[in-house]
Structure 1
Amino acid sequence: MGFTVRRTSRSYVRPSAATPSGTLELSIIDRVVGLGHLVRSLHVFAGGERRQGTTTPSSSSPASVIREALGKALVDYYPLAGRIVDGAEGRASAHVECTGEGAWFVEAAAGFSLDDVGRLDLYPFAIPEDDLLPDAAPGVEPLDLPLMMQVTEFSCGGFVVGMIACHTMADGLGAAQFINAIGDYARNLPSPRVRPVWSRDLVPNPPKLSSAPPPFPRVFRFRHLVDELSLDGIAKAKSQFLHATGQRCSAFDVAAAKVWQARTRSLRLPDPSTRVSLCFFANTRHLLGNIAQQGFYGNCFYTVAVSAASGEVEAAELAGVVAMVREAKARLPAEFARWAAGELVEEDPYELTFAYETLFVSDWTRLGFLEADYGWGTPEQVVPFAYHPCMPIAIIGAPPKPKVGARVMTRCVEEENVQEFREEMKAFHK
């Protein structure tokens, strides 16, 4: 059967009270040209009756509750109601104009239930993801809008919040902090539990490094694949690593190592000395104590990289690849300090070079999206689409409730490598 989503309302949601105007400067990390892209995600809620402790009438629709709460949250997060304006050097010198024009907000209705479309568990979905994401605001460049949202209500009482956010304004932790602020207001808290702080001047601003501009990237035809790593499998891998090294590792270490090794094996590179790389994005708030606990929601991360010969990655036991990941993580404090002091002169860690031999991994399990509650409970699942056609990437998330373990969503192999990649990922459970 065909499933149709009908958009019923489109408008800007402005801050519900007066907010400051003027110009705000972005940090050197915010202005990384590669971050000038849109991050799309779907947040799936079972819905049902409003929870106790919420004074909003239980008959209020999720869209109306979230819309009102968004207006309140934009008072605290007023830069998100403004516009990103490129400077003389384009996005590399962009700033924020606090215009109060608001966030783009779309309401939609689906004449079917979440069960009818498999609760959006299996990809590809029974309905296009674009139907659940906000369509473009008229007359505005999407990259100039910090935030766009769509709330789609299903016949079962469930709803999906589709979000499109410009990475220039916030990293994953910052975006989740804002979403949780909306949830706080939706549950009638008098203010967000975490007070936002702009403070982009607290991010180090070292001299521009002497790296050459990256070459024009190749556009890949990646397949969207989803694999599950069971809790038992992760626990077994952790135990093997502990036995081999006497050290503990995290679920992220295991998942990142597994997907990197599986992908490397599936590429069948003819020369085993070919260098392959794994890059992931590490939060650095804890390395800047002055903003660590202050509600900072800008980009505050560092690109951690590990590189090895493809033959070494292919032949290693999984514990050996986990060790490579952990060694790279251990270098983070020193490398970030060197970058902050302007001592890294070989290459700029924020100027990413996209190549088929490099895999980027992003961890969505601990950002805070899974804790967002608008009064109907936390989401069943969060489905990220943080993809770029030039960027081989794997996103580690949580599977839909009540499943446990890790869900690895990838766009990192082209058709000719899909079968071997899938077989390698399945081998995790043998």
Structure 2
Amino acid sequence: MSSITVLKSSPAIVVPSEAEPEAAVAPKAGETVGLSSFDKRAGPFPVTMLLAYDRPIHEPVETIKRSLSRALAHYQPMAGRLSNGDDAGIVCSGEGVLFVGARASCDLEELLDDQKGGAARFVKDLALSYPSEPCRESDPLLLVQVTEFTCGGFVLGVTWNHVAADGAGMAQFLQAVGELARGVSPPSVSPVRHWDDSIPGLPAPMATAQKPSSSAARGPQDMVRLDVTIPWSLISDIRAAGVSAGGKPCTVFEAVAAVLWKCRTRASLSAVDPRSPAPLLFPCNLRALVGASAGYYGNCTVVQVVSATTGVVADSAIGDLVGLIRLAKEKVPDVLRPSSDDGNSNGGGRGQEQEEGPPVQFTMYNVLAVLSWRNLGFEAADMGSGGASRVMWDADPMAPGCVACPPRKGRDDGVSVSSICVKPEHADAFLGELAKLTASNN
């Protein structure tokens, strides 16, 4: 049992500041924002992010609390409540968000020490949780905690109802909080939450297929999380080989996802039928594809699936796996076409010749979901002393095997990957496969 303790203040409700100049864009207080097909796809499930700041600011708890109130005046839906039924939407009721200040008994580096498991051990101490899942209509759409450390650093923990915003939208909101904390008003990005009817949404069958169920919202509890680093040497070798489809250089995400997919699958190969499915999932931001307005912070993502059997993933070269991932990315526009509904919800898996047969069947253990937070802008949320030195994500609300690729200052040895979920008996095998793959490319 760790000796680190976190003492929290009593929860307070932060409402939109009445002193803040009225936002120039809708929606305004009292209005109801209809939910888009993307919002409905996301479902009312919580997401938690931890933003660590290693440089102090003056009174971080009070500073962020004040700027949060000001930001809510520009982002009225964030201070509202869900309304379901025939008129499902977010009511801009101004009821506010839940806020807690806290103090930790250690310095920030001690808490973030990867050798001791990192901050993931203390996510429940550093962020607030909803009383139940899925979130209830009466719950705030956002929960915020600011924890000060003995070194002067602090952690901003945010938990939000996924219906309110996706990752890119929440990063935009937190950047606005930071700008207001630094005296920039109004925020540099004008927020937009209304979904224009002229913008294409998800076809009904695809929206239904993409929506998570409450029973699958939280993965099995008999999994362990591993924090690893994919070395730049391995990533550079994969990219330099020109292994993606058409000979194009692959992205860092494609290289990292392929490495994790192969290593995790090979680690469990002895325990499963090589013909069993081993799908890879990853979210795709469709803002540019659908023509969403600049500053739109609602949900605008879909989950893309790459289908393959355990045997194919385990035996394929990394370049071939990168090619499958790139092919799935190229097929993302298909999810917006009504004709894409052919009884197979595997957007992107279709057309892969090695995967003939029925649609992929997901189990609690065979899915690997790779989510990258590197380019969403969380690290750019500057509360007054620079951006976040580390961004961490709580993987609990998602399917097993979810990982994050968060930025971390001061680390140039590779891409840091947190919360790769494996069965306990497969942990050593996974680390061994990663070590072998890295060694073979040196």
TM-score by length of 1: 0.86
Take 1:154 and 1:230, find their aligned partners in 2: how far apart are those partners?
Answer: 31
Q: Residue 178 of structure 1: CA displacement?
A: 0.4
Structure 1 residue 394, shift from structure 2 partner: 2.0
| Post-superposition CA distance 1:129-176 (Å, at most 9, x none) | 2111125689x9488321111001112110010111111111110110
Structure 1 segment 120-269 matched on structure 2, within 5 A: 122-125=116-119, 128-134=122-128, 141=136, 144-201=139-196, 202-204=199-201, 206-208=203-205, 217=216, 219-242=220-243, 246-268=247-269, 269=271
For the 8 Å contact 2:182–2:383, the answer to whether it is kept is yes
One-letter code aligned to 2:73: V
Task: Give 1:383-422 correspondences, 5 Å limit.
Answer: 383-388=392-397, 390-422=399-431
Question: What SS does structure 1 have at the residue aligned with 2:84?
Answer: strand
The answer for the alignment partner of 2:290 in structure 1 is 288
How far apart are residue 114 of structure 1 and its match?
1.6
User: What displacement does 1:13 show?
Assistant: 0.8
Cα drift, residue 242 of structure 1: 4.7
Give, in whole Å, the separation in 2 of the partners of 1:211 and 1:103. 31
SS in 1 for 2:37: coil
In 2, Cα distance between equivalents of 1:194 and 1:212: 30
Residue of 35, 41, 48 corresponding to 1:40: 48
**Partner Cα distance (2:61, 2:264) in 1:** 41
Q: 365-374 vs 190-199, which deviates more?
A: 190-199
Aligned position for 1:274: 276
Superposed CA deviations along residues 233-291 of structure 1, whole A, max 9, x for unmatched, are: 211121123599632000000011111111111121543222221111111111112x2
Q: Which amino acid aligns with 2:321?
A: V
Alpha-carbon separation, structure 2, partners of 1:14 and 1:410: 34
* Residue in structure 2 matched with residue 336 of structure 1 by the alignment: 335
User: What is residue 56 of structure 1 aligned with on the other side?
Assistant: none
Question: Hey, what does 1:78 align to over in structure 2?
Answer: 76
CA, structure 1 residues 352+105, in 2 after alignment: closer, same or farther (shift >3 Å)?
Answer: farther
How many pairs align?
Answer: 409
1:194/1:203 CA distance change after superposition, 3 Å: farther
Q: Distance in 2 between matches of 1:245 and 1:342?
A: 26
Determine if contact 1:121/1:400 at 8 Å carries over to the other structure. no
TM-score (norm 2): 0.84
Q: 1:143 to 1:281 in 2, by over 3 A?
A: farther
CA contact (8 A) 1:117 1:126 kept: no
Residue in 2 aligned with 1:107? Answer: 101
| Superposed displacement of residue 46, structure 1 | 1.0
Tell me if structure 2 keeps the 8 A contact 1:150–1:161: yes
Q: Which runs of 5+ in 1 are unaligned?
A: 51-59
Partner SS, residue 144 of structure 1: coil
Q: 1:86 to 1:127 in 2, by over 3 A?
A: same
Change over 3 Å in CA distance of 1:259–1:412 after alignment to 2: same
- One-letter identity of the residue aligned with 2:173: F
Out of 61, 64, 81, which is 2:62 matched to? 64
CA distance in 2, matches of 1:212, 1:234: 31
Q: Using a 3 Å threshold, how does the CA distance of structure 1 residues 325 and 376 change in structure 2: closer, same or farther? A: same
Q: Aligned in 2, Cα 1:336/1:184: closer, same or farther, shift over 3 Å?
A: same
- Other-structure match for 1:55: none
Sequence identity of aligned pairs in percent? 30
Q: Is the 8 A contact 1:203 1:300 kept in 2?
A: no
Q: Deviations over 1:277-326 (max 9, x none)?
A: 1111111111112x2x5211111112211112221211111111111111
1:278–1:116 Cα change, 3 Å = closer
Shift of 1:122: 4.8
Structure 2: distance between partners of 1:391 and 1:100: 36
Distance, in Å, in 1 between the alignment partners of 2:80 and 2:413 is 39
Tell me, yes or no, if the aligned pair for 1:25 and 1:96 is still in contact at 8 Å.
Answer: yes
Q: Give the distance between the partners of 2:108 and 2:153, measured in 1 at CA.
A: 7
Letter in 1 for 2:385: W
**Conservation of the 8 A alpha-carbon contact between 1:85 and 1:144:** no
Q: 1:203 to 1:79 in 2, by over 3 A?
A: farther
Seen in structure 2, the aligned counterparts of structure 1 residues 245 and 348 have a Cα distance that, compared at 3 Å, is: closer
1:41·1:164 contact (CA, 8 Å) conserved in 2?
yes
C-alpha deviation, 1:213, in angstroms: 9.7
